[in-house]
Amino acid sequence: MKARKIVDEMDSYVPGRSQDEIASDFNLNKEDIIKLGSNENPWGPSPKAMKAISDEIKSINRYPESQLKELVKEIAKYAGVKDSQVIIGGDGADEIIDVLAKTFIDEGDEFIVPLPSYMYYEYLLQQYGAKPVYAKWDLEKNELDVDSIFKSISDKTKMMFLCSPNNPTGTLIDKEVLIDIASKNPEILIVIDEAYFEYSEVTNKDLINDFDNIFIIRTMSKVLGLAGMRIGYGLACEEIIEYMHRIKPVFSLTRLSFVAALNTFRDTDYIEESIKKGIESRQYLYDEVSKIDGLYVFPSKSNFMLIDVRKTGFTASELALELMKRGIIVRDCTSFKGLDEYWIRISICTLEEDKKFIEILKEVLS
């Protein structure tokens, strides 16, 4: 059986390495491994979410909620939007992107991604016959190259992905830039990925009231501590949300994911503490990495930061391997389009884990 032509031609998405893989490859104890490669919340989920999951287990023989009205209300309250401006996905933000593609992409359409950025946009949209067109981030200025965005637009452009803070650079896009792009291109859907907005304390959600071509993507996998439950949501004008609900799978959110999400949003103390600790960890890592000769670290508004290692004598793959041998997982960014072989990305951990990472990083580079 031959696969579709686009499937045959596609490259697979390359995720970060797991603790189980590293433990097996290097004969390490899984519990001793420090994971700085996947931009997760290292302090665990909300206690209220864990209790709700435990209480709900007895009901997993029943189908989950289909309308999700109770959760929609909590998300709308958290985001400061109307219920009718919310859609929820059951495979993190990735399902939201997939439903966007199913709803709006026709074969032969083009979509713009500035490089480097989150590569899953490309991975999902190409499946529906869309062609990626690459704009760029200016790595020297650490900002979006706005001119490259406008030069990339054609009469085939259907969608544009702007990640803010951007993954992997940690860069924010100025709101006036987003307004300029959206106002000049009313027929293009401007998808603003705010997966990390809590860490930046900046959001563009108010723009969905002014522009019917702006869509905001968010996730519960970062600050909200539910990466393993796979919950994402989108914010947009009512017309876009209504179209997407025609396509979205009815039962994509499990019963356990539903109660975990519901009770996390209601645990405001947990959310505030997660943000506070995340920002403290980010600052510590930035300060300490900046002191190490041979490394250049980008200032970040997210829960991760990008590091140029070319002056260390290591490539990213070589440095990542040496760290893995010692129980430290970082993200080798060689697979990111728009970056060469000298970039790694690290994400926040507990301060105890941060200190151990810095100690081992210095040891490897000495």
Greatest pairwise CA separation for the chain in angstroms: 57
Per DSSP (E only), the strands in the chain are: 34-35, 86-89, 110-115, 131-138, 143-144, 157-163, 189-193, 214-219, 232-235, 296-297, 304-308, 328-329, 331-332, 343-347
Entry pTM: 0.94
Check whether 117 has a pLDDT greater than 70: yes
CA–CA dist 98, 87 (Å, integer): 13
According to the model, what pLDDT value does residue 214 have?
98
According to the model, what pLDDT value does residue 3 have?
76
CA–CA dist 125, 239 (Å, integer): 21
According to the model, what pLDDT value does residue 222 have?
97
Q: What is the rounded average pLDDT of the residues 73-87?
A: 98
Check whether 230 has a pLDDT greater than 90: yes
Q: Which residue has the higher pLDDT, 16 or 360?
A: 360
For the stretch 145-203, pLDDT in tens is 999 999 999 999 999 999 999 999 999 999 999 999 999 999 999 999 999 999 999 99
Check whether 10 has a pLDDT greater than 70: no
Check whether 2 has a pLDDT greater than 80: no
Check whether 18 has a pLDDT greater than 80: no
Q: What is the rounded average pLDDT of the residues 72-77?
A: 98
Indicate the average pLDDT of the chain.
95
